[in-house]
Structure 1
Amino acid sequence: MVFNTNSLKGKNIAITGATKGIGRATAMLLSSLGANLLLGARDVIHLQDLTSSFSGSQSNVIVQYLNVEEEKSIMEFLNLGLSKLGKIDALVNCAGYGLFNSFLDLTTEEFDRMISVNLRGSFLTSKHFANHMVRNKRGQIININSIAGNIVLEGNSGYSASKFGLLGLTKVMQLELRKQGVFVTSILPGSTNTSFWDHIDNHPDKSKMIPQEVIAMNIASVLCQPEGAVVEEITITPPLGVL
């Protein structure tokens, strides 16, 4: 993948769900490319581990507790970033939650949690960061969705509901925010080799999944897009297709 990494140097980028999986891989890559980072997640222990990973980094890295289910937490996250960095150029929404269960066996609590994190959390985070970007008349938002957001998979009723909703939300964001200088991209990965699968029985062979670093590279490429065109949606699948 070829892109101009120089454009990332000094760019201020916020990442939610930054302690694991795609979020962590993206943070590590963007830091190595010179971006300043505002990183948030709800796991305090992993946040501490993440901080040590950036020792000696040439980038400015700010790590903050963030629960995307709580609007107050999101506003505190944004305000800290603005106080330390002055502005936010891009937001990458990686925070997510999912489990697989049959439609009849899925509990109300499980369904609500997926909607709350994947859809409502992305809405709230995007809304507050977008308001800041609109005032600057410039910005990027990347929503990490899932291939489950546009195809039907058995045992995926709650997860797909949240991700189909996120895809629709992202499309409206694209339509409304582009007029104000803020461009939005939806990335829909297929099965990716992350800790997402650790609590899921009978998951596909992880060696056949997409490496999380590959998703991070695609995110970086979107952030490096030259002016004159906008990447609105990327679907990424394992070499063997849907697993």
Structure 2
Amino acid sequence: MIDFGQLRGRTIAITGASKGIGKATAVFLDQLGANLVLGARNENGLKSVASQMHSNPLVMSLDVTDESSVRRFAGQAISTYGKVDVLINCAGIGVFQPTLTMDTDDFDRMVSVNLRGTFLCCKHFGQHMVQNHGGRIINLVSIAGTTALSGCGGYSASKFGVLGLTRVLQMELRGKGVQVTAVLPGAVHTPLWDLVEPKPDTSQMIPVESLAKHIVYLLCQPEGAVIDEITIMPPLGIL
């Protein structure tokens, strides 16, 4: 039986928390009594999320591509709560176009946000966790990080990179008390699809609230084993 009570009072930082997976995960963790540190570029979106919560989360503007912004985010979280127990990297963007006609700026943005952003957050929160001899990092990857999908050249390149980074971090931090987990979902019903044409059938995708619960379940696993990587799929497959 899952003991959600162990999350009460734990400090959890979430990037990309203004919408999608980050928002849904934050809402669920708020119900479980966690201390939340929420970051995203969309400050109004963050304030809207915070207004729906029972607690009083620490809300900060965050650009994961900017190391000084990430450093401030981590520093404020640590100074406010003393330590951060968990980092959940949800910030990400996707532009889906044939690789040969994709705008180079779009490619660069996906690599910068998805890969560089994950690296910077892992770096600054990971240093703190190593000093405290304990912590959890969950990186949202994607099934596109292991599977070649047409129209996902830039997105897959960035997500394959995130998975490689996560696996190296697992090796480097395992003996230092820090557990790093890669979450690879298939298609999730999030605002990521709003700008995609033609519109996909979102009714068959993973509900974002369902994925958020899977993420939280990972934080409540019994001791004695760790989950390095988990793939979570819609009932009918990738989509």
Shorter-normalised TM range = over 0.9
SS at match of 2:45: helix
Name the counterpart of 1:41: 40
Matched, 1:32 2:31: yes
Q: Which amino acid aligns with 2:238?
A: V
Which residue does the alignment assign to 2:157?
A: 161
Q: Alpha-carbon deviations, 1:66-117, whole Å to 9, x = none?
A: 0001000001111111121110000000000101000111111011000000
Deviations 1:215-237 (A, max 9, x none): 11111111111211101111111
1:107 aligns with: 103
Is the 8 Å Cα contact of residues 50 and 56 (structure 2) preserved in structure 1? no
User: Quick one: distance in 2 between partners of 1:32 and 1:8?
Assistant: 10
User: Is the counterpart of residue 199 in structure 1 residue 195 in structure 2?
Assistant: yes
Aligned to 1:119: 115
Residue 189 of structure 1 is matched in structure 2 by 185
Structure 1 Cα separation of the partners of residues 75 and 52 of structure 2: 24
The C-alpha deviation readout for 1:140-169, integer Å capped at 9, x for no partner, is 000001000000000100000000010000
1:150 equivalenced with 2:149 (yes/no): no
* RMSD (Å), alpha carbons: 0.9
CA distance in 1, matches of 2:63, 2:2: 32
C-alpha displacement at 1:203, in angstroms?
3.6
1:91 counterpart letter in structure 2: L
C-alpha distance in 1 between matches for 2:183 and 2:19: 17
Structure 1 position 26, deviation (Å):
0.1
| Percent identity over paired residues | 54
Look up the match of 1:7: 6
Structure 2: distance between partners of 1:77 and 1:203: 35
Q: Of 73, 81, 84, which residue of structure 1 is paired with 2:69?
A: 73
Query: Alpha-carbon deviation of 1:50?
Result: 1.7
**Structure 1 ranges of 4+ moved more than 4 A:** none
Shift of residue 51, structure 1, vs aligned partner: 2.2
Amino acid at match of 2:72: E
- Alpha-carbon distance between aligned partners in 2 of 1:99 and 1:71, rounded to the nearest angstrom: 23
Partner of 2:81: 85
Are residues 1:50 and 2:49 paired? yes
Of 220, 229, 235, the residue aligned with 1:233 is 229
SS in structure 2 at match of 1:229: coil
User: How many Å separate the matches in 2 of 1:89 and 1:51?
Assistant: 20
Paired residues, what number? 239
Deviation at 1:60, TM superposition (A): 4.5
Q: CA, structure 1 residues 232+203, in 2 after alignment: closer, same or farther (shift >3 Å)?
A: farther
Of the three residues 92, 95, 106, the one matched with 1:96 is 92
**Contact in 2 for aligned 1:140/1:183 (Cα 8 Å):** yes
**Alignment match, 2:215:** 219
**168, 175, 178: which one aligns with 1:179:** 175
Give, in whole Å, the separation in 1 of the partners of 2:184 and 2:94: 15
Gaps of 5+ in 2: none
Contact 1:68 1:124 in 2 (8 A): yes
C-alpha contact (below 8 Å) 1:35/1:60 kept by paired residues: no
Distance 1:65 1:45, change over 3 A: same
Q: Following TM superposition, by how much is the alpha carbon of 1:53 offset from its aligned partner in structure 2, in angstroms?
A: 1.3
